[in-house]
Each structure stands twice: as C-alpha cells, then as structure tokens.
Chain A
Amino acid sequence: MKTKNNKPLNVAIYGMDERSHKMMEMFLKGPCKGIAVVVDELGAELDIIDADSVNAKEILDNRKVKTPDRPIILLSLEEVIIDGTIYVKKPVQTDELVEALKKVKLMLGGDKLKKVKDLPKQLSSPESKPEPEPKKEKRPFVVENKQTETKKIDSKKSKKRAKHRTTVNLTEKGFSAYIGHVDGVDFSDQEQVLLASFSPKNFFLGYVQSAIRVARDKGRILQLNSSWKPLIIFPHSQEIWLDADDKQLRAFAGLAIANKSGQGMSLSSVEQNTSEFINEKIESFYDADAFIWRLAVWTSKGRYPEAINIDRPVYLKHWPNFTRLVVTPHALQITALLINGPRTLINIADSLKIKPQYVFVFISAAYAVGIVGQARRKADELIVPPEVKKPASKGLLSKILSRLRS
C-alpha cells in the first residue's frame, strides 16, 4: 500500500495502559508534528508495541498472524533486534521516533517487509517492585460555617510574627554560607554528587517529622525532648514552638544523631511551667511546614534524601508557599518545570543548566513537607521530557525578572 508523504501514518498501539496510550497519542500529535495518528487495529498501517509490557511476546505473535506484512516499531528500554521490526529506545526521543516513522513510510512506499522471526525468550524486562506508598499526611480540611460579615479576628495570631514574615531568598552566592558545609562530599566531583544522599532519620529532622506525625495522629500538643532544647508541637494550628535562633538550629540540624543519642529523644506532654514560658515567648512560634522546610535545607546541605531514587522521575504536587519559606537558588524555576511534568533530578539540573545540589536541596525540603513523590506511572517514564528553551536573547520576561530582583 502506498502512502503519500504528507499524509499521517495510521498507527495502532499495543502493550500500553490507558494513560501511556493517551500520552503516546499526544506525543505523536505534538512533538512529532502529526507524522502519525493513532487509530484502531483495523485501520492501522503500522503497529507500535511496548516491548517491555508483560504480554509483549503474545502481542507480537498475534500481530504476525493477523497482519504479517504490517510494519512494527518496538519500544524498549533495552535493544531488541528482530528482523522486520524497527527498534526505538525508551524513554522515547522525538527525533528517533520520527526517524523510525519516516523509515516506515519509505517501506510502505517500497517493498514489503520480511516476515518477523521468532522472538528471543526474554522480551520484556521484569516488572520492578512497586515502591511502598508514601504515608499520606492527612491535612484537616475545615470549612467553617461562614457568615456574610468578616470573620472574627484573633489578635494573638497576628503577634506570631515569625510565621508571617517574608523569608530568606537565597542566591547562589549566599547559598553555601547559609547551608554550611557537609563533610565527605566534594560537590565539584560529579560522581560524588550523584551518591550524595542522606537519611533524615539520622538527624534532628527525622525525629521532628516523627513527632509531628504522632502529635497529629493523637490530636495532642506534645513536647519533643532531646539533649538540646525542647520543641513543642501544636498539631491543631500546625505550629512549632522552639526557643532557638537560626544559628543554633542550623548547627544542631547538621549533627548526625547516633543511635545511642537517638535513644535520648522522647515525646511527652507539655508541663505547666513550660506552657507559661511558651506564652511569654510568642515570637518563637513557627509554621510547622516552614520550620520543617528550613530544617531540611540545613540537614540536606546540597544532598538528596536517600528515599528518592535518583534515576526515576519525581513529581511535585503543587507550588510551595515560597513567600513563607527559604527560597533556595533556582527554586522557582525548578518548581515551574516540575509542575509541568515529572523529571529525574539530574534531568532537572541538566535542563536548567544548574548544579545538581540546588535541585537536591530543593527536593529535600519539598520531600520533607510531603509535596514531592516518586513517579510510578509508566506514562511518566515513556517519553523524554521536553527540552527547556532558554530565550536566545534577553526577552521581555527576563527583563521583568531582572527588574523584580534588582
């Protein structure tokens, strides 16, 4: 069957779940500029099979029987060489798929394909073990019975100024001074950077996070006791109280807490005299998320949480509330990019042309407050994320940005 060069190829897709199917459809329409269009089995001139799917062999055998002369493109993480098929590596890149589709167009315009030979035994890679579901934090959603008039004003709330302050906005120059130094990692060595992970459980951060979870579960105000200062958790108002300045907190944040020292950590109810002291030092109240975020930045120091698989895409649930958080270098850029779709940490750094540690510290903070997850959908790994286009010259938006930052 001859195909006119300008007419899109009719393609049938196999071995993909609904989301991946939809993504491939959009990919062909968008980045591949409509060189092919997805149709059903009967109307197709070409079959595209996800060769990594569990029943890929069965699909391929089936296609050989039903439409022996129809060209086949196999998508796979590992190279698959089968006569009469065209292999395209996953994650799929626009140029490679377009090239393969052009080859098919030529084939359809020329001789018929040779028949497909038998598959090797292992066609699909075994399914990777699904990652455990991250524990979802239940955030109370309260919609009060509203009156038409303005709500009552709580004067005490407005006195907790630390909560409502515009916070630190770090540039690259100020970053190292702010986060401090981490021993044992040379951030100028790319190999070391990729191995630079940390476990929150080994630091004050992990204990605070656990304590907050317990306080929320029990619905009670609790005190985290340690060899350092007491930290009070107010789960109903999502607040933390800690009588310590930034310098003290930063120093303690970076200390690895050995197992033995960790046994000295405990949770208790708040004593009466502590309660009176808290009320006198109202400026030591912090929003819980803002506190955890800051603590995570100081614990990370440019490393990433070990729970994050650096080779798999991460997603961001929503924009952080940056006006009340430490804004690490390039944080807004990273956020804007991730909101558009999941990416690996290294892809983010490469796409934005920034050092990986800026990505790592942002992800550490965002992960600590529960707004980052590891993508598990196959559709998120199917196609290479689009390149980030930087304007060739300083466009209008860049000029506005410069003006805002001057």
Chain B
Amino acid sequence: MTQYKIIFTGPVGAGKTTAIHSISDDPPVKTDATASDMTKNRKSSTTVAMDYGLMNLDDGEKIHLYGTPGQERFDFMWDILTVGGIGLILLLDNTRSDPFQDMKFFLDSFGDFISDTSVAIGVTQMDISSTPTIADYHIQLKEMELNPAVFSVDARVEDDVSLLVQALLFSLNPGLEDE
C-alpha cells in the first residue's frame, strides 16, 4: 500500500518537530538526542533520526508527516524519506545568521523532489528577528526562478502550519474543492 506523506525539512531549530506536533492527530514520535556539536548552542536536544506525525483523514486514510533531521550529516536520509511524498514544507529560522543560504541549500538538495511535487516555505521566529522580511525572501527566490508560497509561521500555532500546508496543496492543484 502506498504511504502518502508530507515532508518537513529545514535547518536545526527551525521548528520542524513543533510544526508536526501542531497538526498531528497522534502524539508525534520524537527521536531526540543530546546535541553534541554546534547545534548545542541552538538547542539542547536535536532530532537525529526523524520526527513522525500522523493526520487521520475522514475515510480512514492516513497522511504521514515526516520531519527530516536538520543536520547535514544525515542528508543521506532525505532521498529515502521523500519516496511517496506529496510535497515539501521547508521551515527556515529567521534568527539564523544566513537564512538565504539555508533556503538555497535545502531547495537545491530537494530540487528533484520539488520539481515533481511542490514546496511551501515557512519562516519562523519573525517575531524575534523581523529581517530578512518575507519580501526579501521573494527577491531571493526570483533569482532562483522559483515562486512558492512563503509565509511567516509560528510553528506552535496550528492555524499557521495548517495554512502553510494548505498553500502546498493548492500549489499542487488549484482546482481542489475549497469549501
């Protein structure tokens, strides 16, 4: 049976685990470990395998929510995780020193998957650091010849994460039944 999934990716501390938790029906499985390296300065624990959540649909079907580990040394898992994926949610932390570099890195890394499906970008921590602005992200994306949804997101807020995923769905098919 095909396992349908939405992939959440982004750098360490961007809010992937929290975002999955916000929209997951079942308590998400966290696979944390104590951060040993530079990551420790940002988070005391970090995802070393993957985060997992589940959305239950009306007819019993399930959508799996997978969060990729944010550290680059686990990038070999990303290709495996994207198999059967509907689309990609990329979360970026606006307090990091170079969020544009993060964005380019993840969009390049998942380039093939994005070409086949779609991506929506959520920028977290904008209440703490308001620059770069969302408009600045669009300028960067234009140079990359991409035009996905880019939203300011609080990963703890279900409505924010839900809107971001909805934008992903409509990017895949604008003809979806809206109401």
Flag if A390 contacts B133 (CB, 8 Å): no
Contacts of A319 in B (CB 8 A): 147-151, 167
Flag if A399 contacts B147 (CB, 8 Å): no
Q: Does A329 contact B (CB under 8 A)?
A: yes
Question: Contacts A319-B148, A335-B170 given: A390-B175 contact, CB under 8 Å?
Answer: yes
Flag if A148 contacts B147 (CB, 8 Å): no
Flag if A171 contacts B179 (CB, 8 Å): yes
One of A142, A329, A339, A396 near B147 (C-beta < 8 A): A339
Flag if B148 contacts A333 (CB, 8 Å): no
Stretch in contact with the other chain, from B27-35, B108-116, B155-163:
B155-163
**Chain B residue nearest in CB terms to A143:** B132
Flag if B152 contacts A321 (CB, 8 Å): yes
**Chain B residue nearest in CB terms to A388:** B175
Question: Contacts A164-B154, A339-B147 given: A402-B58 contact, CB under 8 Å?
Answer: yes
One of B130, B135, B159, B176 near A391 (C-beta < 8 A): B176
Flag if A318 contacts B138 (CB, 8 Å): yes
Q: Which of A162-177 contact B (CB under 8 A)?
A: 163-164, 166, 169, 171-172
Inter-chain CA distance A397–B132, complex, in Å, is: 32
Flag if A237 contacts B130 (CB, 8 Å): yes
Stretch in contact with the other chain, from A70-78, A115-123, A150-158, A180-188:
A150-158
Flag if A388 contacts B172 (CB, 8 Å): no
Contacts of B50 in A (CB 8 A): none
Q: Does A247 contact B (CB under 8 A)?
A: no
Question: Contacts A319-B167, A324-B152 given: A169-B159 contact, CB under 8 Å?
Answer: yes
Inter-chain CA distance A318–B146, complex, in Å, is: 10
Q: Distance in Å from the Cβ of B157 to the closest Cβ of chain A?
A: 5
Flag if A166 contacts B98 (CB, 8 Å): no
Inter-chain CA distance A398–B177, complex, in Å, is: 6
Flag if B97 contacts A149 (CB, 8 Å): yes
Q: Distance in Å from the Cβ of B60 to the closest Cβ of chain A?
A: 10
Q: Does A39 contact B (CB under 8 A)?
A: no
Question: Contacts A150-B97, A169-B163, A322-B151 given: A333-B170 contact, CB under 8 Å?
Answer: yes
Inter-chain CA distance A229–B129, complex, in Å, is: 30
Flag if B139 contacts A141 (CB, 8 Å): yes
One of B131, B136, B175 near A352 (C-beta < 8 A): B175
Question: Contacts A146-B98, A151-B129, A402-B58 given: A389-B154 contact, CB under 8 Å?
Answer: no
Q: Does B55 contact A (CB under 8 A)?
A: yes
Inter-chain CA distance A340–B118, complex, in Å, is: 13
Which residues of B does A touch, CB under 8 Å? 4, 23, 41-42, 55-59, 61, 63, 86, 95-98, 100, 126-136, 138-139, 141-142, 147-154, 157, 159-160, 162-167, 169-179
A-B pairs with the 3 shortest C-beta distances? Answer: A336-B170, A336-B174, A146-B97
Q: List 20 A-B contacts (CB under 8 A).
A: A142-B132, A142-B136, A143-B100, A148-B97, A149-B41, A153-B129, A157-B129, A318-B142, A318-B147, A321-B150, A322-B149, A322-B163, A332-B163, A352-B174, A388-B175, A389-B175, A397-B176, A400-B55, A403-B57, A404-B165
| Seed contacts A323-B160, A330-B179, A402-B58; 16 additional CB < 8 Å A-B pairs | A139-B133, A151-B97, A153-B129, A157-B128, A164-B127, A166-B159, A237-B130, A318-B142, A319-B151, A323-B163, A330-B178, A333-B170, A333-B174, A388-B174, A388-B175, A404-B55
